[in-house]
Chains A and B, each alone.
Chain A
Amino acid sequence: MKKRLFAIVACVVLVAVIGICFAACNHKNDYNELEMPAYEDLEVPDYSDLQIPKDFKFGAICLHGEESTYDKNFIDAIKKAITDLGLSVKDNLILKTNIAETTACYTAARDLADQGCKVIFADSFGHEPFMVQAANEFPNVQFCHATGTNAHNEKYKDSTGNVDETTTIPSNFHNAFASIYEGRYLAGVVAGMKLKDMIDNNQIKDNQKDANGNVKVGYVGAFTYAEVISGYTSWFLGVRSVVPNTVMEVSFTGSWYDVTREKTSAEYLINKGCALISQHADSMGAPSACEEAGVPNVSYNGSTIEACPETFLVSSRIDWTPYIKYIIAQTVKKEAIDDDWLGTIATGSVVLTNLNADTVAEGTLKKIVELRKQLAEGTLHVFDTETFTVGNEKVTSHMFEGKEVVKDGYFHESEEISAPYFDLRIDGITLANEIYEATDNWSPNKK
């Protein structure tokens, strides 16, 4: 009897403790946001008189489920676009999640086409060859693939540059990306203004400057690809447009999602004296390391203000809603979809989250709204060749797939194809390590 009583008491105590823990975890931290206004001159097409059949079906293939910030960004956009166009998520959307970058993607695409989807969208880079395979099999269905690079090719070209002569890229296969480097540049300006504020208030310690008195910032990247290089360079140029004597160190994790590595990389950079950190990877690793160390952080793909109210500044992200609406509208109207669609600030695809009112410097919001307009109107260019050098020399020429991309005084990023291809190693940025493929043997600073 005593034993039983003890067991009951133990159970009740356990339940109570768990309950208290949950209550404690749900406790929201206080934070204040500065609302980021939408871009004033959005070029939003009018879809109001679009006649979409009731049985229209949109097929979507996602690498993971909502638990991944990367895929959640897509899933939210797809659902929003569907609802905005007056369709129902339940009846007009077939969403397949956790589809690996293998034949599973082809199987899923084929099933979606078989279910009557007129347009099928896939969200991950590695889905591309399998989407091409399905597109060849279903010429009457549109296959749209985010972040890919093959739609403008005639034959399939893999990521190492080998051309597969037997696989044709059909006309119903399309790629899309956004000029996210512009968003990162703006986020860099937010960081730069914060840095200037810290310098003015003498908050920069001696170990946060290099031998020449330059202030150090840090960046956590996934892989040493053009996509990431383009991202950290544009962010760095944003910072440097405000604080010219800045240098940056980049540490790569070799994974798109690895909490431990991202955190280790961020801690490594903080210990080396980086006064501010940003990242291009999908987990909370770097933001949480910054929050613990009290180092300001610029996030990616969504706001981390709830978890990091004391260090979060701003985050840039791609809003895929305009693209999803566009491909639905073109499919319904039976009009051609761009082979390489590029979302911009003006289309509403490149956006910044709300700013953290408690951390950003005064006047930040006004400044980035102003710069955003200049970027959108083309009076300001992120990769202006006056603002950076490679090997201490100004860049005058760079070829991408046999075409000159340095013209009119700036590097034309994402214009030849939608995916980023800026891969110059500019002065002022040092790489702690370089990682081109997934690896087990990793350290934040091992070359």
Chain B
Amino acid sequence: MSNMKNSARTLKEAKEPLFHLVKRQQISTGKAWAIRIGTIIFSILFISVLTSIVFRESPFEVIKYMFEGAFGTNLRVNVFFRDMSILLIIALAVTPAFKMKFWNIGAEGQVLISAYLTIVCMYYLGGKVSNGALIVISLLAALVGGMAWAVIPAIFKALWNTNETLFTLMMNYIALQIVLFSIKVWMPAGSGQLAPLPYGNLPHIGGGDYVTSIIVAIIITLFLFVYMRFSKHGYEVAVVGESQNTARYIGINVPKIIVRTLALSGAICGVAGFLIAAGIDHTVSIDTVGGRGFTAVLVSWLGQFNPLAMTVMSFVVILLTIGTTNVMVNSGVANDFFAEVSTGVAFLIIIICEFFIRYNIKFRKRVENDHPAVPDNQQQAELQEGGTAHIEDENEIGSEEVE
């Protein structure tokens, strides 16, 4: 082989990497969703195989436990749809802001402050006003709290262009500290837990604390679907999200839209906080929201900001969380680390799938050179084999060293 050819090849290799990414121009919605649903099923199968290897159960058994944990009894079905509804409501709350490219990660704090204000009303007014009045007052307090926590960063963003991600994140911590402080005032000694309060609880429709949340979730989903797709407000949000300059050009008052949309976001978070506090928990602690404000961001993203698709996604997320925990309980594992790991793995697979829906991998085209190139390739292959053999050698040495 000649030197010239060899150097030409090296040059080519240096210029063209093994693969590169191309953003997909067009992928039909149907195809994209087929890929997504396929990935979700794959991720469930994958973690069940993973779990079955670690805990020596059959994968079918694992899947059975998973679905048993979510739908095994009437109570579990109710709890499942209740949790799914709450997560969905929070995810819906963050969606209009995201659509506007306002990166609000403050849902956690917005929900927490609303739940907290609901409990404040229950704590101080409980037994003094009628239950009905208390529910109305605490709902109003929750709405105001949620809106305040969302609108404050929005005003700063609209007027002074502050970074909304950091701002909303910090608001989460403020809410957390307020709750912590108040619990210390209410419960100066002991375990630092406020026992469930008996006043101002939402009535149990159908004998449980599930139906209210489910109904509210359905109403908000439909409302937001119509709001985002068919209303003037929804259109304005979309335009501001696409380009603020365009929005300004066609006469949209951008600061006003930002504040108005975040007020809506905050209000929906307020509803979620109110449902958690008055409808389910009847108490508040720093774990009341328990990360659902952040999980909701995942749901909103994976659902492509489409309220109906987000329903599917919150279903999947809750199925994974409840399901994997139940698998651990049934495998007799006395901690739930592996449940968290496998849920994480499943999410990762789903997120990676989003990447492949958006980008296409183009591999380097095979070198179609003239004849002499072939032996060259073969030679390289041999060289690689030599390399692998070498690794094995090294490994043996390594294992001897360990011993």
Which residues of A are in contact with B by a Cβ distance under 8 Å? 1, 4-5, 8-9, 12-13, 15-16, 19-20, 23, 62, 64-67, 71-72, 75, 89-90, 93-98, 100-104, 106-107, 110-111, 114-115, 125-126, 128-130, 132-133, 156, 158-160, 164, 166-167, 225, 436-438
B336 within 8 A of A: yes
Provided the pairs A12-B397, A75-B334, A98-B335 are in contact, do residues A160 and B188 lie with their beta carbons within 8 angstroms? yes
* Contacting residue for A167 out of B187, B195, B383, CB 8 A: B195
Known: A133-B196, A160-B190. A95 touches B334 (CB 8 A): yes
Chain A residue nearest to B277 (CB atoms) is A103
Q: Which of B187, B189, B282 has the most CB of A within 10 A?
A: B189
Bound Cα distance A160, B185 (Å): 11
Interface flag for B372 (CB, 8 Å): no
A65–B329 touching, CB < 8 Å: no
B75 contacts across to A, CB distance below 8 A: 110-111, 114
Q: Let me know if A167 and B192 touch, CB within 8 A.
A: no
What is the chain A residue whose CB lies nearest that of B390?
A8
Could you say which interface size class chain B belongs to?
35 or more
Do A65 and B193 have beta carbons less than 8 Å apart?
no
* A16 and B281 contacting across the interface, CB-CB below 8 Å: no
- Tell me whether A65 and B334 are in contact (CB under 8 A): yes
Given contacts A103-B196, A114-B73, A156-B195, contact A436 B188 (CB under 8 A): yes
In addition to A66-B335, A437-B192, 5 A-B residue pairs with Cβ atoms within 8 Å of each other are: A16-B402, A19-B402, A75-B334, A111-B79, A437-B184
Cα of A93 to Cα of B287 in the assembled complex, Å: 27
Alpha-carbon separation in the docked complex, A167 to B194 (Å)? 13
Closest to A19 in B: B402
Beta-carbon contact of A15 and B398 below 8 Å: yes
Do the beta carbons of A158 and B195 come within 8 Å of each other? yes
CA separation between A156 and B76, bound complex, in Å?
28
Hey, which chain B residues are within 8 Å of A20, CB to CB?
401-402
Question: B130 interface residue, CB < 8 Å from A?
Answer: no
In the assembled complex, the Cα of A167 lies from the Cα of B199 at a distance in Å of 11
Question: Is B281 touching A95 in the complex (CB atoms < 8 A)?
Answer: no
- B332 contacts across to A, CB distance below 8 A: 89-90, 93, 95
Q: Give the complex CA separation of A133 and B282 in angstroms.
A: 11
Decide: B281 and A102 in contact? CB cutoff 8 A.
yes
Specify which chain A residues have a CB less than 8 angstroms from the CB of B383 in the assembled complex. Answer: 1
| Complex interface residues of chain B between 176 and 213 (CB less than 8 A to chain A) | 184, 187-193, 195-196, 198-199
Contact partners of A100 in chain B: CB under 8 A: 285, 287
Would A438 and B192 be within 8 Å (CB), given that A95-B334, A104-B287, A111-B76 are in contact? yes
A106 CA to B398 CA in the complex, in Å?
53
With A9-B394, A114-B73, A437-B184 as given contacts, are A98 and B336 in contact (CB-CB < 8 Å)?
yes
Chain B min CB distance to A141 (Å): 13
Complex CA–CA separation, A367 to B401 (angstroms): 50
User: In the complex the two chains form, what is the Cα distance from A19 to B398 in whole Å?
Assistant: 9
Distance (Å) between the CB of B35 and the closest chain A CB? 34
A88 to B242 alpha-carbon distance, docked (Å): 61
7 A-B contacts (beta carbon < 8 Å): A12-B394, A62-B334, A65-B337, A102-B283, A114-B76, A126-B193, A129-B196
Residue of B73, B193, B329, B395 most packed against chain A (CB within 10 A)? B193
Closest 8 pairs (CB-CB, A-B) = A159-B190, A65-B335, A126-B191, A129-B195, A19-B402, A166-B198, A103-B281, A114-B75
**Closest B-chain residue to A8, C-beta based?**
B391
* A158 and B187 contact, Cβ closer than 8 Å, known pairs A66-B334, A100-B287, A103-B281: yes
* Complex Cα spacing A100 to B390, Å: 52
Residues on B with C-beta less than 8 A from A93 are 332
Residues of A within 8 Å of B328, CB to CB, are 97
Q: Does B387 lie at the interface of the complex (its beta carbon under 8 Å from any beta carbon of A)?
A: yes
With a cutoff of 8 Å between Cβ atoms, the chain A residues found around residue B198 in the complex are 164, 166-167
Q: Nearest chain B CB to A337's CB is how many angstroms away? A: 22
State which of B187, B196, B285 has its C-beta within 8 Å of the C-beta of A106: B196
B152-193 contact mask (Cβ, 8 Å, vs A): 1 or 0: 000000000000000000000000000000001001111111
Q: Which of A1, A115, A133 contacts B73 (CB 8 A)?
A: A115
Residues in A neighbouring B73, C-beta threshold 8 A: 114-115
Q: A65-B335, A111-B79, A167-B198 are in contact. Are A160 and B187 (CB under 8 A)?
A: yes
CB distance from A13 to the nearest CB of B (A): 8
Residues of B within 8 A of A110 (CB): 75
Minimum C-beta distance from A92 to chain B (A): 11
Shortest C-beta distance, A257 to chain B (Å), equals 14
Contact A12 B329 (CB under 8 A): no
